[in-house]
Chain A
Amino acid sequence: MEWSGLALLILVGAGIVTTGLPATFLLIAAAILGALLGLVTDKISLSILSALPSRLINLLENDLLQALPLYVTMGLLLGRLPVADALYRTSNALLPKRASAPLVSTVLLGALLGPMNGSVGASVLGLSHVIAPRLTAQGVSAARRDAMIAVAATLGVLVPPSLVLILLGDAMLSAHTLAVTATGRSDRVINTQDVFHAALAPAGIFLLLCLALAWYVGRNQTISEAVSGRPSPQQIMLAVVCVVALVGLLGGVVTGYFYAVEAAAMGAFALLSSGLMTGHLRASVLREVLHDALAVTGALFSLLIAATTFTLVARLLGTDALVNNLVAGIPGGDVAAVAVVLGVLGICAFVLDAFEIIFVVVPIIIPPLLIRVADARWVAALVLLTLQASYLLPPFGYALMMVRGAAKAPAPFGDFLRALCPFLIAQWVSLLVILMAPRLVHLGEDTTASNRTGAPVSAQEIDRRLNKMLPPPPEIEPK
């Protein structure tokens, strides 16, 4: 019976690829199938399933999830306001007049706007709409243009306070709470702020590698200066205001001066106000933006409620205990266990996107890993890098497919992959560096307040505690 949860998850993956139905519907269908199986075999009682509405109400009142509509709205507004264009032109004008300036500017733009864009999809569309025509006009080859946009669009995943980071932070908090309770360790439970701090070093390493590569691969290309377009004084002013505001918001969140949700609200409010005042957001455009914000938020939230249903059923079927045993049985030390789990996440990335992995796979596979590996910050940073890598994973990586879908004349796939290859290597190098040097995610951390380990607990004791803890009591009244 324990295997049925994993079998259902594989079924969901197969269904996503073969039917084209939304992952939400397939997760709900799999959860219903699992629940029926559990009811028939007396593994699950109906009273335990009635805890599901309480879990959904928890989602409806979750402070952190309020970031969802804010980020989505910001992404949509950035796509309609001339911010990206102003930043790109100003960056190009400020950089030394080298052939690689357009590529370096694209990377900088991705890092700056990505965290505010809400999703990789929004970043791809924004960059494809604003930057791709300029790169083409400046003589950048189609393959290199598409590769740069795909890479730049995923930078927002790593740079705080991105939506992926916020959602992963919430998932890591839950997973770490389970692990700490199960093992009886005296660790301080990781929170979203910790995940932000943990992401800084990996984000910095990957960004530096990308900038260096953009400079290196672009240094010999021939570009047309005439079409690069000098920025107007208004565009320079807009770019400066944007950079100051974005750095201020990022700094405020990283230093804990205000919460990520508040930063997102400030960003959305500033964009909305400027759009209304400058006349870029007329009533019809605003209606369209708000409708899209509702629909895109719904896509993410429905995935979350479906994943909540599925993971509840999987736990009731005993899948969590099975996964715990499998993770505990991985031979080798911490690095081996983490590498195997990251490999599983990588395989999942062939059929699931980053949000699906965070909502469905992380709650199942990360608690057992954190039972074995005490350094939750390190695990969070590695999961984040793996999620970012999943967007660029050939041949089905979401960013790759989106870029090719958005391009008017996409490059041949082979050329595109060749142009992408150095950046994929940089990504793997970043992952390897963080895997082998966990200290990098603890830079500036107060080590006296961080992970402390208690007396070791036997595997049987961990099993007993997990079994005692995980099946939710039938009457949960969230307060």
Chain B
Amino acid sequence: MAWLHRLDRLTGQIIAAARWLALPLILLLFLQWPLRDLVGCCSREANDLGQIIFALFVAVSVTAATRAGTQLASDALAHRFSAHTRHRLRQAAATLAVLPWASFIFIASKPIVLASLLGLEAFPDSYNPGYFIIKATLWLLALLMIAQAFLDIFLPPRQGDA
């Protein structure tokens, strides 16, 4: 079980770090307009860097939503369920949906992501470096979902989960 708690801490730390990406994302996307229309340069660079940060942000955000309990769900009948029933349902969803799906994405994307990583693929329109990071974020997304699925399956529910 110790490895599960380490995995839990690691996932939490990645999420805690990723939230700060919102600040450069806002700044870069804000700068696009003045750079394009007033300065007349570097707006493509701001856009490309913004795309990389956006991809990293949303790749982590999916697992952050699962952990924070913000996923869109209806409580119409479920509010009557016991904490135990809710936990079992979450375990079933992690086992039958999230884990197989994320594993499939990780495996099926291997040719695309590896080719991009090994070739250090650049952005197709601007030729700026770093496009490979966007493709690699798909692995980040899948790996974090796999990690969270393991945590949901094997760890007891945290306080406040129910």
Using a CB–CB cutoff of 8 Å, the interface residues on chain A facing chain B are 16-26, 28-29, 31-32, 49-50, 52-54, 56-57, 60-61, 63, 65-66, 68-70, 73, 258, 261-262, 264-266, 268-269, 272, 287, 290-303, 305, 309, 351, 353, 355-356, 396, 477, 479
Q: A32-B100, A53-B112, A269-B27 are in contact. Are A298 and B63 (CB under 8 A)?
A: yes
Interchain CB contact under 8 A, A61 and B55: yes
Main secondary structure, interface of B, reads helix
- Residues in A with CB closer than 8 Å to B138 are 53, 56-57, 60
Interchain CB contact under 8 A, B97 and A32: yes
Which residue from chain B places its CB closest to the CB of A56 in the assembled complex? Answer: B138
Interchain CB contact under 8 A, B55 and A303: no
Most buried by A among B16, B29, B109: B29
Interchain CB contact under 8 A, A57 and B90: no
- Residues in A with CB closer than 8 Å to B68 are 291-292, 295, 298
A16 to chain B, nearest CB (A): 5
B112 to chain A, nearest CB (A): 6
A292 and B64 alpha carbons, distance in the complex (Å): 9
Interchain CB contact under 8 A, B70 and A299: yes
B9 to chain A, nearest CB (A): 16
- Residues in B with CB closer than 8 Å to A258 are 33, 37
Using a CB–CB cutoff of 8 Å, the interface residues on chain B facing chain A are 15-16, 18-20, 22-23, 25-27, 29-30, 32-33, 37, 47, 50-51, 54-55, 57-68, 70-79, 81, 86, 89-90, 93, 96-98, 100-101, 104-105, 108-109, 112-113, 124, 134-135, 137-138, 141
Q: A21-B93, A66-B54, A299-B65 are in contact. Are A294 and B22 (CB under 8 A)?
A: yes
Interchain CB contact under 8 A, B98 and A290: no
- Residues in B with CB closer than 8 Å to A23 are 71-73
5 nearest A-B residue pairs (beta carbon): A20-B78, A298-B65, A298-B61, A22-B71, A53-B109
Contact of B64 among A17, A29, A294, A309 (CB under 8 A): A294
- Residues in B with CB closer than 8 Å to A69 are 22, 25, 54, 57-58, 61
Interchain CB contact under 8 A, B76 and A17: yes
- Residues in A with CB closer than 8 Å to B72 are 22-24, 299-300, 303, 353, 355-356
